[in-house]
Structure 1
Amino acid sequence: MQLESADPPIVSQARAHAARTAVVAPEGRFTYADLLDASARVASALLAGADDLREARVAFLAAPGWHYVATQWGIWRAGGIAVPLAVSHPPAELEYVVQDADASIVVADGGFAEVLRPIAERNGRRFVESADALAADPVALPGVDEARRAMIVYTSGTTGKPKGVVTTHANLRAQVTTLVQAWEWSADDRTLLVLPLHHVHGIVNVLSCALWSGAACEILPRFDADETWRAIESGRLSLFMAVPTVYNRLITAYDQAPPERQARMAEGCRRMRLMVSGSAALPVQTLERWRQISGHVLLERYGMTEIGMALGNPLRGERRPGFVGLPLPGVAVRLVDDEGGEAPPDTPGEVEIGGPSVFLEYWRRPAATAEAFRDGWFRTGDVAVVEDGYYRLLGRRSVDIIKTGGYKVSALEIEEVLRTHPAIAECAVVGVDDPDWGERICVAVEAADGSAVALDELQGWARDHLAPYKLPRDLRRVDALPRNAMGKVMKPEVAKLFAAGGG
């Protein structure tokens, strides 16, 4: 039974694709009609006799799969604000989000009920299991205006407590439609989701773009290199989106496979029309190795939780290694100097973003919201330069731009060079306060298998590739660089390795 209502935009889109496959997940295969019915039932359970949640926050924890999608859509259709929780987070971090968002309802699928139920009870919040919500009888649902708040996604919080980024249904429409246009999504597409669903890369770029378009989205409960390769080998996928860490693991799995399977892997890649990388800088060596394996030049793009995607290399046209491309449709981009004036041509500047995809606010943080904007433009904190129309990121103003010996140096540039050293598998460059240099250039290194790297040897090698003032002055070897859930290196944690000084 499906009762009509004034739906959020993405739900309205689904009605045109009722008979098509929407989601393939561990729980089974589901059509758009199934999704409309299931989300209506979830919405009805959340309403519990009320006519509208009126932007009440609903925090939910579900493994990537059918329950996640039905719950997210059910929250939206009930008039609530969806607050996705991270399956990788410990109870203390989950409780922080529940409290900070002031969630009145907490939803969990079966596997997480015993984690969230005590949190809900301690904080006096209503607790709902997703299976029970999916079994509810549908009732009339409220109309949901696009101007309403739709979602709060918490930033990774490399410094301080995470902030809740609030997007409206109109913001989500803008974020999705710019990618649908730029990447030419259609109902004939089929994609594989291997990314976390508490982050815009998974929520917007993969899941929501697929469901907006009438496409099919296969969902793995967690990334597994072998399972991912099997899906690629099948030839049924047309798009794939991931982070550099995922591509590196797929490369490792490919290199370990026998030749006959490697041939199937490569053929599966070549049958796809698009492969995208984002959420962290894509090393050029990863791009080149993936091109050798797959025949694809990975499309690198740039975005943030607060803005969705803003820049991207073109679907049709030159994709430049080391560049994040051109402004996406409907997105306004400018570079500004330290005083907020327009940066001169060929000069680095801070990236600022305008347009309908930009978020509404940081949840209950008016001072932080005000500080994040300048004359209506969102201040990303990222520094870039435009070369022949293409944007090249130089790093974060506060983290990746190092002021050493009177020079401004890009940590990302140094990392790209050092990754080409045969003894280095991965590295992270940071600036650390230094009385002589202002900031001392330091590098943390993951060594290649069986390799050893010493500072003096690395400096000698790097002199052929980097200006003297860009050479690392300190080195630490680590088993693994500290990363967040999206695989992005947490530079403040790296910097702590060098806080005590010494070489």
Structure 2
Amino acid sequence: MGRRNAAWSLLESGMSFGPDRTAYRFGSSALTYGELAGRCLRCASFLDSRSIRPGDRVMLSLPDTPAMVCAFLGAMLAGACPVPVNTSLHAPDYGFLLEDSGAKLLLTVPGHPSLEAAEGRCPAVLCDDMGPPGLDGLPPVFDPRPADDARPGFMLYSSGSTGRPKGVPHRQDDLLVPARTWGLVLGLTDRDVVLSSSKLFFAYGLLASLALPLAAGAATVLFPGKPGPCDVFDLMLRHRPTAFFGVPTLYNAMIRAFEPAMKESVPGLCYSAGEALPSLLHEEWARITGREVLEGIGSTEAFNVFISNRKGHSRPGSAGQTVQGFEARLVDDAGRDVPPGSQGHLLVRGEGLCREYWNRPDKTRETMLADGWLRTGDVFVEEGGFYAHQGRSDDMLKSAGQWVSPVRVEEELLRHPAVAECAVAARRVNGLDVICAFVVAAPGAATGKALTLELRKFLLGRLQEHMCPACFEFVPELPKTATGKVQRFVLRQC
């Protein structure tokens, strides 16, 4: 017997605060909770008319517009599996995603490269900002299909920070778990206005712009483009959000673009996830805005944040403490628990975790362990209940026989005024792996041998010698995923 449809449960939760309350702000328009529910039901009817059946995958290559929200929830109402994907890929990438997911339908926008990939693979429907054509002519009536754990409820793709993305299927009910776990840390209410720089195709963006605000009856600001620092400050000034969700690279850019007049529009809740937040950025943001940044760590596999700082108890350089509903362990390479203060691979366990990767039994065996534990691929140190991120397991470096955290080196390097961004990775030199720092210089900084010597001297005054990079390379930009994560595996291949 199937359970109640999770998308409808989420919509009902939002409507319980009043169907006339604003659910989404988009440009100069607004969509109420009642209107949102009606459009989602129409979208379910539309998909049903296109012979989309329970369990069928529907790929969504759509910008952050009402169409994206309605297509995602509408597909779930129809019992189908929405698959939001990165909107800035190339046609061959979409070809892989369509083949891998086995999508029966693609929803996208005119002129998008996913259309080329869909030819000969599956039908495509072009949407405007509000959804598929003819949606307004359909009645807002559809009987939501019950959840069925034998079929995926929704599926995301990993960001590809370590290579080709993997499909991460979730049950329908996993959509509701964040509100009663991480949501308790955030404390969003129906009086909140949410702004997220992360897009809806990314787990962090789907959490911040859909799962959490709809459960709380909050209003959410949608921005279809890729927001730069000035865009974010403009949106803050226009919409006065009470909660902002960003990533470290954007916080870094916003700090550099900050002007005193912007301070009054910075919301009371500022959150960072997606990658470790350097303590320098935490300190600088607090200094110039008067607001603390709450940092946390989650994953696509969890569709949640499982370690987080709390309001008024945020520790710079730490991802925080375990979120209610989750357990965490740090283990060595042999799977044995490590003592406090020692580096270890992070394992987490809790409700809502992905049970297996899509079409990847090899990766499933590596990541989804016995007794419900999930290997996150991150290395942490735990002290006093707080977890400090040391880097990805694959990114850890060895120098002079000792493990080195690239995050630790990057945090200190960022403190030099000539460094705007940096990443540390191993590079092969004369058959040996050496630590290399890839540096994006601050505007006006003169790159060259003199700056290299200055940066090494700077680090030697702050770090042990074996932790200091043996070489420095100045680059115009760092390779990143669409979600802002640095792709260190690309740097290792340079």
Quick check: TM above 0.5?
Answer: yes
- Could you tell me which residue of structure 2 aligns to residue 198 of structure 1? 201
- Could you tell me which residue of structure 1 aligns to residue 100 of structure 2? 100
Residue type matched to 2:489 in 1?
P
Does 2:224 align with 1:228?
no
- Could you tell me which residue of structure 1 aligns to residue 359 of structure 2? 364
Change (3 A) 1:185 1:336: same
- Could you tell me which residue of structure 1 aligns to residue 157 of structure 2? 154
Deviations 1:272-292 (A, max 9, x none): 331001112212222222112
Does 2:140 align with 1:143?
no
Change (3 A) 1:306 1:7: closer
Residues 276 and 319, structure 2, Cα contact 8 Å, conserved in 1? no
Deviations 1:355-380 (A, max 9, x none): 11211321122222122122221111
Structure 1 residue ranges without an equivalent (≥5): 256-261, 498-503
- Could you tell me which residue of structure 1 aligns to residue 285 of structure 2? 290
- Could you tell me which residue of structure 2 aligns to residue 332 of structure 1? 327
Structure 2 residue ranges without an equivalent (≥5): none
Does 2:249 align with 1:249?
no
1:381, distance to aligned residue in structure 2 (A): 1.4
Residues 57 and 102, structure 2, Cα contact 8 Å, conserved in 1? yes
- Could you tell me which residue of structure 1 aligns to residue 464 of structure 2? 467
1:60, distance to aligned residue in structure 2 (A): 1.3
Deviations 1:382-405 (A, max 9, x none): 111111210001111111x21111
Change (3 A) 1:496 1:101: same
- Equivalent residue for 1:392, pick from 380, 384, 388: 388
1:175, distance to aligned residue in structure 2 (A): 2.6
Residues 62 and 108, structure 1, Cα contact 8 Å, conserved in 2? yes
Matches of 1:325 and 1:158, distance apart in 2: 23
Change (3 A) 1:433 1:133: farther
Change (3 A) 1:199 1:332: same
1:471, distance to aligned residue in structure 2 (A): 1.4
Percent identity reads 30
Change (3 A) 1:465 1:118: closer
| Cα RMSD for the two superposed structures | 2.1
Residues 325 and 391, structure 1, Cα contact 8 Å, conserved in 2? yes
1:234, distance to aligned residue in structure 2 (A): 4.7
Deviations 1:179-207 (A, max 9, x none): 22111011111112332221011111333
Change (3 A) 1:238 1:381: same
Matches of 1:324 and 1:318, distance apart in 2: 11
Matches of 1:32 and 1:463, distance apart in 2: 56
- Could you tell me which residue of structure 1 aligns to residue 118 of structure 2? 120
- Could you tell me which residue of structure 2 aligns to residue 78 of structure 1? 78
Residues 57 and 105, structure 1, Cα contact 8 Å, conserved in 2? yes
Does 2:14 align with 1:14?
yes
1:447, distance to aligned residue in structure 2 (A): 1.1
Deviations 1:328-352 (A, max 9, x none): 1111111111111211222211100
Residue type matched to 1:53 in 2?
R
Residue type matched to 2:256 in 1?
T
1:231, distance to aligned residue in structure 2 (A): 3.1
- Could you tell me which residue of structure 2 aligns to residue 165 of structure 1? 168
Residue type matched to 2:265 in 1?
G
Matches of 1:398 and 1:41, distance apart in 2: 45
Residues 272 and 294, structure 2, Cα contact 8 Å, conserved in 1? yes
Residues 327 and 333, structure 1, Cα contact 8 Å, conserved in 2? yes
Other structure's SS at 1:131 match: coil
Matches of 1:346 and 1:115, distance apart in 2: 48
Other structure's SS at 2:313 match: coil
Other structure's SS at 1:208 match: helix
Alignment of 1:377-456 (within 5 A): 377-399=373-395, 401-433=396-428, 439-451=433-445, 452-454=447-449, 455-456=452-453
Matches of 2:6 and 2:339, distance apart in 1: 46
Change (3 A) 1:31 1:367: same
1:249, distance to aligned residue in structure 2 (A): 2.4
Residues 60 and 107, structure 2, Cα contact 8 Å, conserved in 1? yes
Residue type matched to 1:266 in 2?
K
- Could you tell me which residue of structure 1 aligns to residue 346 of structure 2? 351
Residue type matched to 1:277 in 2?
S
Aligned residues: 478
Residues 7 and 143, structure 1, Cα contact 8 Å, conserved in 2? no
- Could you tell me which residue of structure 1 aligns to residue 178 of structure 2? 175
- Could you tell me which residue of structure 1 aligns to residue 188 of structure 2? 185
Matches of 2:269 and 2:323, distance apart in 1: 16
| TM-score, with structure 1 as normaliser | 0.90
Change (3 A) 1:61 1:467: same
Residues 291 and 297, structure 1, Cα contact 8 Å, conserved in 2? yes
Change (3 A) 1:128 1:206: closer
| TM-score, with structure 2 as normaliser | 0.91
Matches of 1:133 and 1:379, distance apart in 2: 45
Change (3 A) 1:432 1:227: closer
1:220, distance to aligned residue in structure 2 (A): 1.3
1:146, distance to aligned residue in structure 2 (A): 6.4
Residues 195 and 201, structure 1, Cα contact 8 Å, conserved in 2? yes
Other structure's SS at 2:412 match: helix
Residue type matched to 1:487 in 2?
G
- Could you tell me which residue of structure 1 aligns to residue 299 of structure 2? 304
1:86, distance to aligned residue in structure 2 (A): 1.7
Does 2:309 align with 1:313?
yes
Change (3 A) 1:328 1:453: farther
Deviations 1:458-497 (A, max 9, x none): 2223221111111111111101111111111110111223
Deviations 1:297-322 (A, max 9, x none): 1001111111121100112x421110
Residues 59 and 84, structure 2, Cα contact 8 Å, conserved in 1? yes
Matches of 1:407 and 1:194, distance apart in 2: 37
- Could you tell me which residue of structure 2 aligns to residue 23 of structure 1? 24
- Could you tell me which residue of structure 2 aligns to residue 258 of structure 1? none
